[in-house]
Structure 1
Amino acid sequence: MAPQRFREQFDHIQRSMPDVPLAMGPDDSAAFLYEKGVVLVRDGEDARLVEDTVRTFFTEAPGLDQEQVRRVSPQTNRTGVTRIRVADPGQGGAQGDPAVAHALRAMREREGRARRPLVSRNHVIHIAPVNACPGDEPVPAPRTEGTNPAPAAAAHDPESAVSVLVIDTGLMHDYRSWPQLAHVDGDLAVQETDANGMLKQYVGHGTFIAGVVSSVAPNTDVTVLGTLSDVGAMLESEFGAALFESVDRYGWPDIISLSAGTTTSSGLDGLLGMDAFMAELREQRTLLVAAAGNNGSATPFWPAAYASRPDHADSVLSVGALRSDGEFGACFTNHGPWVKVYAPGERLTSALTGFDSPVPYVYQHSTFDTCRYGFGYACTCQEPSHSGVLSDESVAAKPDQVMFEGLAHWSGTSFATPVVAGMVADLMAAGGQRDPRAAARQLLAGIAEFAEVRGAHVPALRPPTWSAVPVVVPAPAV
């Protein structure tokens, strides 16, 4: 059932990026999205080597056109990568791109078993997908319910506040109507609603994350950037450059909270488009707290999986999600030894919109009859039940609609990530610690409680103001 959701989101993302033909791949498993007809390669001699190798391979392979091989972005930039066109992006369907696959094969044969490939697909970086979407869609919550985690008691002090840069979608225009966001700044969403006045699918994601950080760690200066626009997606080749632009604009913060990423082509150890940024990050004092992704898989999800590389073990902290009781992993969370810590990420409550302008939302995806990952509790795959416009043509004329007036429940490693970012920031502010990486080490070293994720006992962080919600296990059918 998970591939169904992936295909629904593929269509949504493709419509939001009409000038970039996309494919899903590497085959019918639909593990990630990437740009059709193009491969990504390191600049300089590596780029020339790839061009020559692919041309030779295409000359000898039937049905492939070596005349189409050419650079389409030859300019050198800080990311150190170039896009090379290997086929007409307009050819073929969305179910994989054979020309790109052949180009990668040519280089694999040329490179042998090189640890760091010279070439890769140009993946789509997206808001921590459940096969390309958050753990669920948001559900309205009454204002009287308050946030979960609830606001901590600490006060904001401009002299000692910890700087947190959230790289995500932009803020809602009236976000400051919620007092907890008084010390949040950044980019406003470019377009909050569609032509019919409905809240767009990912608008509010960055606002929700800022609310989680501010609740866990009030003594923070949070800046939310609209790097991922209002659709939550960007090509890898552009994302690396956007990260550099972010730190050029605001300086290197104490903490970067990033709830986006992608799985990659088999065997890739990282993202070519992010290599240069990750190398510079290693030399800074900034801690990158990154979402592990929501594919219910052990497949590494980048950039969170950089936490498993020895050269980035100190600079990257990868975060998985616990279900609402905090005792077990959420059904959707990615897992494995590359995920360093887990935190509550199911049905958290935060600000989705401001309080000044109620806005309607139409559900895009239908819930499932059973958990799409095979779990037996009442997870977000099933509850609360609703019908979505992308899932079923029969409900397209009248999908379920709700009204948001501020707070929402939302699930995903997207939101477990700011919980951990906030806990690191809170430890820094409380103890006068100015080194975020040292604070992260201290926080992890002090973990005395664990949770169970896919049969493994894993370190778990639960902020003191977070309230567990009992998990419902449906009675067996008679």
Structure 2
Amino acid sequence: MAPQRFREQYDQIQRSMPDVPLAIGPDDAGEFLYEKGVVLARDGEEARLVEDTVRQHFTTFAGLTADHVRRASPETNRSGITRIQVADPGQGDGGGDPAVAGALRALREPEGRTGRRLVSRNHVVSIAVNACPGDEPVPVEADAQPNPAVADGAHTPDSAVGVLVIDTGLMNDYRSYPLLAHTRGDAQVEECGDDGILRQYCGHGTFIAGLVAAVAPNTDITVRGTLNDAGAILESEFGEKLFEAVDQDGWPDVISLSAGTSNGRTDGLLGIDAFMRELRQQRTLLVAAAGNNSSATPFWPAAYADLPGFENAVLSIGALRGDGEFGACFSNHGAWVKAYAPGERLTSALTGFETPVPYVYQHSTYDTCRYGFGYACTCRHPRHTGVLSDEGGSGKPDQVMFEGLAQWSGTSFATPVAVGMIAAHMTARAETDPRKARTQLMDGNREVAEVRGANVPALIPATWSPTPVALPSTRT
């Protein structure tokens, strides 16, 4: 069942990037998306080595010319990445790209000589993921309260913790939610379609900002709309956008990032390598979502938390189910996930505080959990029919109205809960170093949950209220 959702998302992201032919990888296995006909290399000598190797090994690509290689000067491309075209991206379908796979194989030998990877697919980075959040937003009762509830404390500009949310932009009426009165940043682009229906993923960044503000009221939150295009961006652009986000206002105390991709490797993403190396030299703490593939495969950039040299700079966050006792069905897991926070059916600001906004579901729920769990997870409940899931067009997609708060699930939302706990700890302890605060919080934490049979650190805000789990779990 999980591959069905992935392919639905492939179709939607491809529509949002009509000029970028996409393939499913590796070899149509449904783990990630990437740009067809293109590989990435570091600018300069390594890019030339990649191009020469491709020319030497693939006579099919004898027509490759310098025009295919797009180099940018260091002044305009701090990520230092070059896109190299190795085939006609218009050939074939989305079921993998043999030309790109062949180019990667051809560069394995030079990689052994240089001691580091020279080439990569150009992956699609998307808001954490299958390639989507754990579910779609759900309306709540008119008198519903945020969950986690608003913690005690006030916003004090002189001591507020700086939090940068890199996500979709802010909804136009976000200031009508009192918790976000001090929030600033980029506006969401095209909140609704021509039919007045709320577009998928709109409100994602606003929802995240609301969670941070609820757990840690003494925060200065900035939201950057880096992922406004259906929550997705190419790896080749992502590194540069990350630099732009921190350059605009300076490096913050904490970055909340609910986006990423797997890539079948254990050494990170080539496209953000320069950003991650600079992050390591800063005082900023990156808190990143572990992803929603229900997989142990490393999800980047969250999995940098497990790489030497990044232990203090990155904290990876998985999601707990509604009772806080076990991992959510969709949450990625493994030794590279360093902590878990509530991430199922959280309540925060979405949109429609001033004017109710309609939304049409894109994905249908399932009769059973798509990952094999037995409790009443978000795969199953609440029931709805979605446009992308109805191939035959026999069912009518469900439409709902949003009027302010909503309920949503995913590691996307466990992440800002953890960010809020770190920020609240900084305020309570007058700690100005976010990495020290992270260490102090983790060392002093006594909460644990069970994920796949292992006890893991659980970051549980005092104001969070568990939700009942309707059925006993048959798999944890």
TM-score range, shorter chain: over 0.9
**Distance in 1, Cα, partners of 2:142 & 2:159:** 30
Equivalence for 2:123:
123
Please report how far the alpha carbon of residue 229 of structure 1 lies from its aligned counterpart in structure 2 after TM superposition. Answer: 1.3
Alignment of 1:50-449 (within 5 A): 50-59=50-59, 64-68=60-64, 70=66, 71-76=68-73, 77-112=77-112, 116-129=116-129, 131-264=130-263, 266-395=264-393, 398-449=396-447
Is the alpha carbon distance of 1:11 and 1:475 closer, same or farther for their aligned partners in structure 2, counting shifts above 3 Å? closer
Asked if structure 2 preserves the Cα contact closer than 8 Å seen for 1:149 and 1:216, the reply is yes
**Distance in 2, Cα, partners of 1:236 & 1:465:** 37
**Distance in 2, Cα, partners of 1:421 & 1:468:** 19
Deviations 1:129-151 (A, max 9, x none): 0x201000000012311000000
Alignment of 1:39-58 (within 5 A): 39-58=39-58
Instruction: Give the SS at the match of 1:209.
Output: helix
Letter in 2 for 1:43: D
Instruction: Give the SS at the match of 1:96.
Output: coil
Instruction: Give the SS at the match of 2:315.
Output: strand
Deviations 1:367-413 (A, max 9, x none): 11100100000000000010000001344773110000011110000
Q: TM-score, normalised by structure 1?
A: 0.96
Instruction: Give the SS at the match of 1:247.
Output: helix
Asked if structure 2 preserves the Cα contact closer than 8 Å seen for 1:21 and 1:89, the reply is yes
**Distance in 2, Cα, partners of 1:302 & 1:32:** 11
Counting matched residue pairs gives 470
Deviates more, 1:224-233 or 1:320-329: 224-233
**Distance in 1, Cα, partners of 2:473 & 2:290:** 31
Instruction: Give the SS at the match of 1:305.
Output: helix
Instruction: Give the SS at the match of 1:378.
Output: coil
Instruction: Give the SS at the match of 2:276.
Output: helix
**Distance in 2, Cα, partners of 1:352 & 1:458:** 30
Deviations 1:220-240 (A, max 9, x none): 000011011141000001000
Instruction: Give the SS at the match of 1:427.
Output: helix
**Distance in 2, Cα, partners of 1:217 & 1:254:** 13
Is the alpha carbon distance of 1:387 and 1:105 closer, same or farther for their aligned partners in structure 2, counting shifts above 3 Å? same
Equivalence for 2:8:
8
Please report how far the alpha carbon of residue 69 of structure 1 lies from its aligned counterpart in structure 2 after TM superposition. Answer: 5.9
Q: TM-score, normalised by structure 2?
A: 0.97
Deviations 1:153-193 (A, max 9, x none): 11110110000000000011001111111111111111000
Asked if structure 2 preserves the Cα contact closer than 8 Å seen for 1:69 and 1:87, the reply is no
**Distance in 1, Cα, partners of 2:412 & 2:101:** 31
Is the alpha carbon distance of 1:116 and 1:354 closer, same or farther for their aligned partners in structure 2, counting shifts above 3 Å? farther
Instruction: Give the SS at the match of 1:332.
Output: coil
Letter in 1 for 2:347: T
Equivalence for 2:471:
473
Runs of 4+ in 1 over 6 A off after TM superposition: none
Asked if structure 2 preserves the Cα contact closer than 8 Å seen for 1:370 and 1:381, the reply is yes
Please report how far the alpha carbon of residue 354 of structure 1 lies from its aligned counterpart in structure 2 after TM superposition. Answer: 4.1
Letter in 2 for 1:66: A
**Distance in 1, Cα, partners of 2:65 & 2:331:** 39
Asked if structure 2 preserves the Cα contact closer than 8 Å seen for 1:42 and 1:82, the reply is yes
Instruction: Give the SS at the match of 1:101.
Output: helix
Deviations 1:54-90 (A, max 9, x none): 111102xxxx323236543211321011000000111
Please report how far the alpha carbon of residue 475 of structure 1 lies from its aligned counterpart in structure 2 after TM superposition. Answer: 11
Please report how far the alpha carbon of residue 111 of structure 1 lies from its aligned counterpart in structure 2 after TM superposition. Answer: 2.2
Asked if structure 2 preserves the Cα contact closer than 8 Å seen for 1:177 and 1:354, the reply is no
Asked if structure 2 preserves the Cα contact closer than 8 Å seen for 1:116 and 1:268, the reply is no
Flag structure 1 segments of 5+ consecutive residues without an equivalent.
none
Please report how far the alpha carbon of residue 109 of structure 1 lies from its aligned counterpart in structure 2 after TM superposition. Answer: 3.0
Instruction: Give the SS at the match of 2:256.
Output: strand
**Distance in 2, Cα, partners of 1:196 & 1:391:** 20
Is the alpha carbon distance of 1:115 and 1:183 closer, same or farther for their aligned partners in structure 2, counting shifts above 3 Å? farther
Is the alpha carbon distance of 1:245 and 1:475 closer, same or farther for their aligned partners in structure 2, counting shifts above 3 Å? closer
Letter in 2 for 1:370: T
**Distance in 2, Cα, partners of 1:475 & 1:417:** 24
Asked if structure 1 preserves the Cα contact closer than 8 Å seen for 2:375 and 2:473, the reply is no
Is the alpha carbon distance of 1:180 and 1:409 closer, same or farther for their aligned partners in structure 2, counting shifts above 3 Å? same
Letter in 2 for 1:433: E
**Distance in 2, Cα, partners of 1:114 & 1:368:** 48
